[in-house]
C-alpha cells in the first residue's frame, strides 16, 4: 500500500499512529492525558529498567567470573549505576581541540534518542488470547498497551537503528583522533552490513504476519503460533546474531574493542556525553531483547488462566513479556562473559557470506511454501526444489569465493610465498 493510499483510506492521524483504537475516535483531553501517561510510564520505566540492567549485567558477569561485583552503593549494590552516573555528571566535560565541536556534541544524542524512540512500538501487555487483540480499557477508552502502533511498525525500528549508526559514526569521525576514527570506520561497515541480515531475517516474520504493525505481528502469533517455530528457527538465529552485531555487543564489539582501540568511537568522550553513549548501549540491549520477544516469541502472549480482570490484562502478560525478555538479556550477558571477539574481516565474512545469503534463501523457500499452500501444490516438492536451488546458489557462491581467493593469491606473490612456506613447515 502506498503512503498516499494509506493516508486516503484511514486518515492522516491513523496512518501515523496506526491501529490504536484510542486515536481512531475523537481526540479529547482524556486521550491526550492517556498518551502523556503512557509516555511518562514508558520513559521512566525504561530508564529504571536500564539502570537495573547495568547493575544486573555487572552482577551476573561477576558471578560467572568468580567475583563479587558491585555491592557498595545501596542494597546489593543496586544504586551503583546511579552513583556512576552522578560521578560522570560532575566530571569535567572535555571537548578535544581537534574535534568538530558541533558534531561531537550532537553524536551522543543521535545515539541515545533513537534508543528511547524504538521502545515506543513495543507491546508491553494486553490480553491477546481472545478477540480483544491486545486492547485494554483506560478511563473508558480502548487502547493498546504500547505508546504507538504506526502502520510502518517494524520499519520504525529499522529506521531508528539506522539513525543510531550515525551517532556512533559521527562520534568517531568528529573526535579528530585516530583510535575513534578506526572505531567509527568499523562501526559504519559492520552496522550497515548487519542491518541487511537483520532486515532479511525480519522479512520472514513479516511474510507470515502479513503486517508491519507490531500489534498485528503479536496478534498473528496468538495461540502459541510463535514465529520462532512458524518461521523455522533459522531466521530467529540469524536475527539474534545480527542483533548482537547491531548492538555492538561481544563478540561483535569491535567498534569499541578495548584491547585494540582503547575505547573505539567513545575514546575522547567524557562526563555526561560518555554516560549518554553508555546509557544508549544498554538501552539498545533492552530494546533489542524486547523486539526479539515481539517478533519471535509472541510478545506478551502467554497463559492467562482465563482471567479477564486487571491481573489477566496487565500483570500476567507483562510478566510473560518480561520473563521472555529476561532470557535474552541473560543471553547477551553470557555472550559477553564467555566469547572472544571476532576480527573485523571475520565479521564481514560472517555477515555477507553466511548470514545474508542464508536469510535470503530461507525467505525465498518460506515464500515458496506459502505460495504452494495457496495453490495446493505438493509442499514437500516445493521444499525440495527450494533446497536444491539454495544448494546450487551456495555452490556458486563458494566457487566465486575460491576463484577470487586464487586470483588474489596470484596477484600478491608475497602472500602466496608465505602460504607455501607454511606448508613446508618453514624450511624452503
Partner 1 sequence: MTATDISVLNSALERLNADESVLRLSETEAEARSGYQPTADDSEPERMIMNMGPQHPSTHGVLRLVLELEGETIRRSKPVIGYLHTGMEKTGENLTYLQGPTNVTRMDYVSPLFTELAFSMATEALLGIEVPERGQWIRMLMTEVNRISSHLLFLATNGMDLGAVGMMIYGWREREETLRFLEAVTGLRMNHNYIRPGGVAADLPGGWEDELTALIDVIPGRLEEFDLLMTGQPIWRGRLQGVGVITAEEAISLGTTGPILRSTGFAWDLRREQPYLYYDQMDFDVIVGTFGDCYDRYAIRLQEIRESIRIIRQIMERMPEGDYKVQDKKVTPPPRARIDESMEALIHHFKIYTEGYKVPEGEVYVAVESPRGELGCYMVSDGEGKPYRMHIREPSFVNLQTLPHLMKDSFLADTVAIISSVDPIMGGVDR
3-state secondary structure of 213: coil
CA distances for 291 relative to 318, 329, 397, angstroms: 14, 12, 32
Is 265 a binding residue for partner 1 by CB under 8 A? The answer is: no
Which residue's entry shows cell 618453514?
A: 426
Q: Which of 41, 45, 258, 396 binds partner 1 (CB under 8 A)?
A: 258
Q: Which of 260, 315, 370, 394 binds partner 1 (CB under 8 A)?
A: 260
| CA 155 to mean position of chain CA atoms | 12
Rounded distance, CA 18 to CA 361, Å?
31
280, 111 in Cβ contact below 8 A?
A: yes
**Interactions with partner 1, residue window 316-345 (CB under 8 A):** 336-345
Rounded distance, CA 356 to CA 331, Å?
23
Provide the mask over 339-378, with x wherever binding to partner 1 is found by CB under 8 A and - wherever it is not.
xxxxxxxx--------------------------------
Provide the mask over 57-96, with x wherever binding to partner 1 is found by CB under 8 A and - wherever it is not.
----x--xxxx-----------------------------
255: nearest Cα among 167, 333, 351: 167
Q: Which three cell numbers stand for residue 39?
A: 509516555
Q: Which three cell numbers stand for residue 188?
A: 559504519
Q: How far is the CB of 174 from partner 1 (least distance, A)?
A: 18
Rounded distance, CA 36 to CA 19, Å?
18
- By CB under 8 A, the count of residues binding partner 1 is 40
Q: Which residue number, 380 or 427, has a Cβ lying nearer to partner 1?
A: 427
| CA dihedral sign, ordered 211, 216, 218, 222 | negative
Is 415 a binding residue for partner 1 by CB under 8 A? The answer is: yes
Segment interacting with partner 1 (CB under 8 A) among 194-202, 290-298, 364-372, 414-422:
414-422
Provide the mask over 168-207, with x wherever binding to partner 1 is found by CB under 8 A and - wherever it is not.
----------xx--x--xx---------------------
State the residues that interact with partner 1 by CB under 8 A: 61, 64-67, 178-179, 182, 185-186, 250-251, 253-254, 257-262, 336-346, 414-415, 418, 421-422, 425-428
Amino acid at each position: 500500500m502506498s503512503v498516499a493510499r494509506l493516508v486516503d483510506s484511514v486518515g492522516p492521524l491513523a496512518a501515523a499512529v496506526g491501529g490504536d483504537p484510542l486515536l481512531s475516535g475523537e481526540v479529547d483531553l482524556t486521550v491526550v492525558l492517556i498518551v502523556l501517561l503512557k509516555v511518562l510510564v514508558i520513559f521512566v520505566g525504561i530508564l529504571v529498567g536500564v539502570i537495573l540492567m547495568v547493575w544486573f549485567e555487572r552482577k551476573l558477569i561477576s558471578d560467572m567470573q568468580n567475583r563479587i561485583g558491585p555491592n557498595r552503593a545501596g542494597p546489593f549494590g543496586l544504586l551503583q549505576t546511579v552513583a556512576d552516573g552522578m560521578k560522570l555528571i560532575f566530571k569535567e566535560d572535555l571537548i578535544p581541540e581537534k574535534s568538530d565541536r558541533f558534531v561531537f556534541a550532537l553524536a551522543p544524542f543521535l545515539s541515545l534518542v533513537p534508543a528511547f524512540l524504538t521502545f515506543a512500538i513495543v507491546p508491553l501487555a494486553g490480553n491477546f488470547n481472545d478477540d480483544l487483540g491486545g486492547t485494554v480499557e483506560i478511563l473508558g477508552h480502548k487502547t493498546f498497551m504500547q505508546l504507538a502502533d504506526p502502520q510502518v511498525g517494524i520499519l520504525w525500528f529499522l529506521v531508528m537503528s539506522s539513525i543510531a549508526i550515525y551517532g556512533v559514526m559521527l562520534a568517531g569521525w568528529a573526535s579528530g583522533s585516530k583510535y575513534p576514527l578506526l572505531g567509527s570506520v568499523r562501526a559504519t561497515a559492520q552496522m550497515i552490513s548487519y542491518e541487511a541480515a537483520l532486515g532479511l531475517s525480519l522479512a520472514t516474520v513479516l511474510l507470515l504476519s502479513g503486517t508491519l504493525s507490531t500489534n498485528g505481528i503479536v496478534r498473528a502469533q496468538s495461540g502459541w503460533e510463535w514465529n520462532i517455530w512458524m518461521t523455522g528457527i533459522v531466521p530467529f538465529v540469524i536475527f539474534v546474531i545480527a542483533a548482537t552485531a547491531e548492538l555492538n555487543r561481544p563478540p561483535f564489539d569491535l567498534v569499541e574493542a578495548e584491547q585494540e582501540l582503547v575505547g573505539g568511537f567513545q575514546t575522547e568522550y567524557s562526563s555526561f556525553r560518555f554516560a549518554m553513549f553508555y546509557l544508549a548501549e544498554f538501552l539498545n540491549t533492552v530494546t533489542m531483547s524486547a523486539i526479539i520477544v515481539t517478533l519471535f516469541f509472541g510478545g506478551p502472549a502467554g497463559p492467562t488462566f482465563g482471567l479477564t480482570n486487571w491481573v489477566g490484562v496487565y500483570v500476567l502478560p507483562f510478566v510473560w513479556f518480561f520473563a521472555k525478555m529476561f532470557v535474552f538479556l541473560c543471553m547477551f550477558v553470557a555472550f559477553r562473559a564467555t566469547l572472544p571477539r571476532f576480527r573485523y574481516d571475520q565479521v564481514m565474512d560472517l555477515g555477507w557470506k553466511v548470514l545474508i545469503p542464508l536469510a535470503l534463501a530461507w525467505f525465498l523457500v518460506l515464500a515458496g511454501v506459502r505460495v504452494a499452500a495457496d495453490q495446493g501444490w505438493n509442499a514437500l516438492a516445493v521444499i525440495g526444489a527450494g533446497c536444491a536451488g539454495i544448494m546450487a546458489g551456495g555452490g556458486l557462491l563458494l566457487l566465486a569465493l575460491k576463484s577470487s581467493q586464487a586470483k588474489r593469491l596470484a596477484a600478491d606473490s608475497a602472500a602466496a610465498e608465505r602460504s607455501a612456506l607454511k606448508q613446508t613447515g618453514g624450511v624452503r
